[in-house]
Amino acid sequence: MVAADLLVLGSSGRAGRLLRGVLAGSPRLRAGFAPMGRPRILWQQRSGDGGADVLKWQPGRPLPRGLSARVILALWGVTSGSPEQLAQNAVLARAALHLARRVGAQRVIHLSSGAVQAGLHCAPAAEDMGLAPLGPYGVAKQHMEAAIATWHAQRPGMAPRSTVVRLGNLAGADQLFEAIAKGGPVVLDRFDDGSGPRRSYIGAEDLLRLLARLATCPVRDLPDCVNATGPQPVAMEDLIRAAGVPLRWRPAPPSALPVLALDPARMQGICGALARSGSAEGLISQWRRAREPA
């Protein structure tokens, strides 16, 4: 019999590895995922090294006998590839919901992306504004959100409940931080006004605070959708400078997006203002702590 407070799907991806590392080094953050403060967290992966907290499983395979979970966090997804490959995002969202039914989970937290609203001309984008995805990835995440809504519409009032977390950029799990980790130089687009791109970022510690609230609040209080973002967009050049690595500029192509900004109001109502994710220095500090040995 295996009973988990939190079952994390897709733990071998960038976000999963980052969050797992942070929780391993912070008993305080880990304690937030269970009402009594001693959660059992299972990390799903398809293959690789195992351990007492690893569930080696993938859709289509038998589940361990007696497995149950209170909450499912669905990090899994496809970020690039052909339209057929990106369409797996919707397939995996439905798989997470079916799995929740099988293991008795009362809620599923799905990871989506601010890319579903990247084409909006107003900023910051609130959750209830219309969707305007840019690029194949944004379209795929839009289809994923629609698949979740359809799944629930076909099963009105039935568990589990779903909440969609629209993530901006996760500090430590995007391409910018990958380049920073290599020591640079990091190449950024420069727009005609002399500025570089700005993005809604959130640090891993602050994202975990939000996820813990969503995992433990009364089910009736779960929002259908919530942005995961710091209080304001952060200039990517400030992140590079705060990390102390070289920066190089290139002219921005016509398709480059100057700003992607998400409205933090709903998230702040759930877990308060996360000021450390509103500055380059705070984001770099969270990232560096995540890289320290536990």
Please give the Cα distance from 119 to 114 (Å, whole number).
10
Q: Which residues contact 116 (CB under 8 A, 6 or more apart)?
A: 131, 132, 133, 138, 141, 142, 145, 166
Q: What is the pLDDT of residues 75-125, one digit of tens each?
A: 999 999 999 999 999 999 999 999 999 999 999 999 999 999 999 877 799
Mean pLDDT, the chain, integer: 94
Q: How does residue 254 score in pLDDT terms, banded at 50, 70 and 90?
A: very high
Element (H, E) at 96: helix 88-103
pLDDT for 40? 95
242 pLDDT higher than 70: yes
What is the total count of domains within the chain? 1
283 pLDDT higher than 90: yes
Please give the Cα distance from 48 to 51 (Å, whole number).
10
Q: Is the pTM of this model over 0.75?
A: yes
Q: How does residue 179 score in pLDDT terms, banded at 50, 70 and 90?
A: very high
Is there a cis peptide before residue 185, judged by omega within 30 degrees of 0?
Answer: yes
Q: Which structural domain range is residue 7 located in?
A: 2-291
| Six token digits for residue 292 | 């320290």
Q: What is the pLDDT of residues 134-162, one digit of tens each?
A: 899 999 999 999 999 999 999 999 999 99
Q: How does residue 292 score in pLDDT terms, banded at 50, 70 and 90?
A: confident
Q: Which residues contact 275 (CB under 8 A, 6 or more apart)?
A: 230, 231, 282
Question: If you average pLDDT over residues 199-221, what whole number do you get?
Answer: 96
Give the E-state strand segments of the chain in sequence order.
2-9, 41-45, 54-56, 67-74, 107-113, 161-167, 169-170, 186-190, 198-199, 201-202, 225-228, 234-235, 247-251, 259-260
36 pLDDT higher than 90: no
Share of the chain above pLDDT 90, in %: 89
Share of the chain above pLDDT 70, in %: 99
Closest by CA to 24, choosing from 35, 11, 10, 9, is: 11
Q: What is the pLDDT of residues 212-236, one digit of tens each?
A: 999 999 999 999 999 999 999 999 9
> CA dihedral defined by 53, 276, 174, 27, rounded to 10 degrees?
-10
293 pLDDT higher than 70: no
Q: Read off the CATH number of the domain in which 144 is found.
A: 3.40.50.720
49 pLDDT higher than 80: no
